[in-house]
Structure 1
Amino acid sequence: MTQDHFTYRVTWSPEDGEHVGLCAEFPSLSWLDETPEGARAGIRRVVVEVVHDMEASGEKVPDPIADRTYSGEFKVRIPPQAHRALVIQAAEQGVSLNRLASAKLCS
C-alpha cells in the first residue's frame, strides 16, 4: 500500500495563519506550512512515517477510504415526528422516502 491511496486535504487555518494538511484516515495527524503544496507534502511524509511505524510494530494500518467497497446503504435513526414529516413530504412530491432522503443528503 502506498500513501497515494489515502485521502488528503489541504485547508487554510485562520488560527495558525498557515495552510494545514490533513489525512482523513489519520484524523489526529496534521501538517502546517506557508503553502498548500508544502502542507500536502508534509502530511504525506508524516503519514508515510506513521504507516511505517505501525507496520513495524504489528499494528493494523487503516484501509484507505478510496480502496473500500460501499453498498450504498446505511441506516439513520431519526425521531418519529421527523420520520412522519418526511413521509408526508415524499408523498406530496410523488417520490419514495428513499428518493427524498437521498436527494436531501446529496444536495
Structure 2
Amino acid sequence: MSWSEADQEFAATVNEFPLLSWLDSNEQEAKAGLLNLVSEVVEDMKESGEKIPEPQ
C-alpha cells in the first residue's frame, strides 16, 4: 500500500500481479478493491487454464 501523490489516493498493489492496482481515497477500500480484482483475475486464469502465481 502506498500513497499516490499524482492521484491523491491510496494505491493498493500485490507482488504476484504487478500490473494490477486499485486506487481509493480510503485505505481499506483500496485493499478491498484490489482483493476483489485479484479474485476475478484468478478465476479467469483458472477457467482459461493459465498458471496462477504462487503467493509470496
Q: TM-score range by the shorter chain?
A: over 0.9
Of Structure 1 and Structure 2, which has the larger fraction of its residues in helix?
Answer: 1
What are the equivalent positions in structure 2 for 1:5-84 lying under 5 Å apart?
A: 10-65=1-56
Computing the radius of gyration from Cα coordinates, the structure with the larger value is 1
Q: Deviations over 1:38-57 (max 9, x none)?
A: 11001100000000000000
Moved over 6 A (4+): none
Give the gaps of 5 or more residues in structure 2: none
Structure of greater relative contact order (alpha carbons < 8 Å, 6+ residues apart)? 2
Give the gaps of 5 or more residues in structure 1: 1-9, 66-107
Of Structure 1 and Structure 2, which has the larger fraction of its residues in strand?
Answer: 2
CA RMSD between the two structures = 0.5
Q: TM-score, normalised on structure 1?
A: 0.52
Q: TM-score, normalised on structure 2?
A: 0.97
